[in-house]
Amino acid sequence: MKTTLYSAILLTCLLFFYSCKEDKVEETPKKEIVEEVKPKPIIKYGFNFDNYKVINDTIKSGESFGIILDRHHVFYPKINEISTTIKDTFDVRKVRAGKPYTILASKDTLEKAQVFIYKHNRIESTIINFQDSLISAYKYRKPVTTIERAISGRIVDNFSNAIDTLGYGPTLAYEVADIYSWTVDFYRLQKDDTFKLIFEQKFIEDSIPVGYGRIKAAVFNHKGKDLYAYRYIADSIKGIPEYYDDEAGLLRRQFLKSPIKFQYRISSRYNLKRRIKLYGNRVRAHKGTDFAAPYGTPIMATASGTVTESSRRGGNGNYVKVRHNGTYSTQYLHMKRRKVRVGEFVQQGDVIGWVGMTGNTSGPHVCYRFWKNGRQVDPFREKLPTAKPMVDSLRPKYFEFIAPLKRQLDSIPFSEVKPLIEEFQEEEELKEEIEETIVKP
């Protein structure tokens, strides 16, 4: 009996000991394994910026390519070698003050330049790599993302302000104005006229706007009438896009409505019975149309042709005359400065001079004169020729193409759009930068 009691007590003690041991093991904290997260390398322009000392700066007035590299410990024998090697790809003499650049330098105490990145604009750069014995220069273009936009607006005072209110820069307004420049007078749009646009907007790094792509379709409601425009390539061989209306009519005409794109008003029309107080209220015919505009505004050729006169004479001041064919010529008076010479061929829309006050004039404007068969006439009363229309065989395919675009345009609601102005405040500067001529390899 005692033996049995002792055995039971011993078994109980053993069970208690092992249970306490197990509890003690469970209470031992486990060590957490922390993995070190390495930062992602900074890859730009095809280089790992972590491997270099990165120096961002802007070319200052009087600085040259050689001066900049010399300051960063690349000396003139090497600079001359670089300039000579890459001259067919990039002319280092053409670097401009105000342009940003990046230098990738060594990370040692010398910090010697190894790569020079010259930024033409926010999209295009020229990279000059001289860190190895092999010197090279090539153009780099950042990837561009294109997004389709569909917007609508209402005219309060003018089209440019309506686009600005929606948060899009003036470049978009100019491009739309170009499409309708033969059919719509943008300074005669009425309050509460409406418009809808389908266009492409371009971005780099997914958020930085860098201009616009194609304007696919548009419609203006002016005086209760819908004026459609669709971008379409009718000639597949030439591949040149044109804009047509909803009846396959070509919007382009042989002549623009105005030699000034924006910011003008007609201050005096063609009038053979005009009386002038300054000359005793006598009749002095005005055989031109005066477009008042700010001093220095570009003046465009209203049609393609050859410059027959480019001179300064008497009351005309600085003027240019263009012969378009055997029937029509145009003349542009009172220019601040002329851009073209006699014998030069100009395309429709080319800038031929700038608004000024030369000759007999009391304010900045261009007097636009229109000649038909050697006689001055009023262009606004003439039935001017149109460009070559779409051939009948292409019309069915065209109507099939525009059908979904028309449905998309018609379905765009007229709603308030939050401004995006902060994204486009540098748009005009960007446009000028991208249009600059860049030396190609």
Average pLDDT of every residue of the chain: 84
- CA 318 distance to own-chain centroid: 31
277 shares its domain with 332: yes
Per-residue pLDDT tens for 134-177? 899 999 999 999 999 999 999 888 888 889 889 898 889 888 98
| Confidence band, pLDDT 50/70/90 cuts, at residue 228 | very high
Token pair, residue 387, equals 């460009």
> Quick check: is 312 in a domain?
yes
> Quick check: is 118 in a domain?
yes
Are 192 and 154 in contact, with CB atoms under 8 Å apart?
yes
273 shares its domain with 334: yes
132 shares its domain with 149: no
278 shares its domain with 246: no
> Quick check: is 32 in a domain?
no
What is the tally of structural domains in the chain? Answer: 3
| Confidence band, pLDDT 50/70/90 cuts, at residue 206 | confident
Share of the chain above pLDDT 70, in %: 81
The pLDDT of residue 198 is above 70: yes
The pLDDT of residue 243 is above 50: yes
The pLDDT of residue 435 is above 70: no
| Confidence band, pLDDT 50/70/90 cuts, at residue 286 | confident
Q: Give CA separation, 206 vs 146, 201, 209, 283, 355, in Å.
A: 9, 11, 8, 63, 40
309 shares its domain with 348: yes
CATH number, domain with residue 64: 3.10.450.350
End residue of a domain, out of 121, 141, 161: 141
282 shares its domain with 366: yes
Average pLDDT, stretch 125-133? 92
Q: Is 55 exposed, middle or buried (0-12, 13-18, 19+ CB in 10 A)?
A: middle
279 shares its domain with 322: yes
Average pLDDT, stretch 222-228? 87
What does the alpha-carbon distance between residue 79 and residue 130 come to, in Å, rounded to a whole number? Answer: 10
Which pLDDT score, from 0 to 100, does residue 429 have?
A: 52
> Quick check: is 392 in a domain?
no
H helices present in 96-169, as ranges: 159-165
> Quick check: is 168 in a domain?
yes
Average pLDDT, stretch 347-374? 91
The pLDDT of residue 417 is above 50: no
CATH number, domain with residue 374: 2.70.70.10
Which pLDDT score, from 0 to 100, does residue 280 have?
A: 58
DSSP-derived secondary structure letter, 186 = T
Per-residue pLDDT tens for 14-58? 555 555 555 555 555 666 666 677 788 888 999 999 999 999 999
> Quick check: is 148 in a domain?
yes
Which pLDDT score, from 0 to 100, does residue 253 have?
A: 78
> Quick check: is 105 in a domain?
yes
Which pLDDT score, from 0 to 100, does residue 117 have?
A: 97
Are 116 and 83 in contact, with CB atoms under 8 Å apart?
no
| Confidence band, pLDDT 50/70/90 cuts, at residue 329 | very high
The pLDDT of residue 102 is above 80: yes
233 shares its domain with 196: yes
Collapse the DSSP code of 415 into the 3-class scheme (helix H, G, I; strand E, B; otherwise coil) and give the result.
coil
More confident residue, 386 or 11: 386
Which pLDDT score, from 0 to 100, does residue 298 have?
A: 94
78 shares its domain with 183: no
End residue of a domain, out of 114, 141, 168: 141
246 shares its domain with 172: yes
> Quick check: is 440 in a domain?
no
133 shares its domain with 218: no
What order of strands is seen across the sheet that includes strand 113-119? 53-58, 100-105, 113-119, 124-129, 136-141
CA angle, 20 then 21 then 26, to 5°: 95
Identity of the residue numbered 235: D
More confident residue, 239 or 200: 200
* Domain enclosing residue 243, as ranges: 144-253+399-434
Token pair, residue 98, equals 């105000």
In 252-327 the beta strands, taken as DSSP E runs, fall at 265-268, 275-276, 282-283, 289-292, 298-300, 305-313, 317-323
Which pLDDT score, from 0 to 100, does residue 418 have?
A: 45
The pLDDT of residue 118 is above 90: yes
161 shares its domain with 132: no
| Confidence band, pLDDT 50/70/90 cuts, at residue 361 | confident
The pLDDT of residue 65 is above 70: yes
Which pLDDT score, from 0 to 100, does residue 3 have?
A: 55
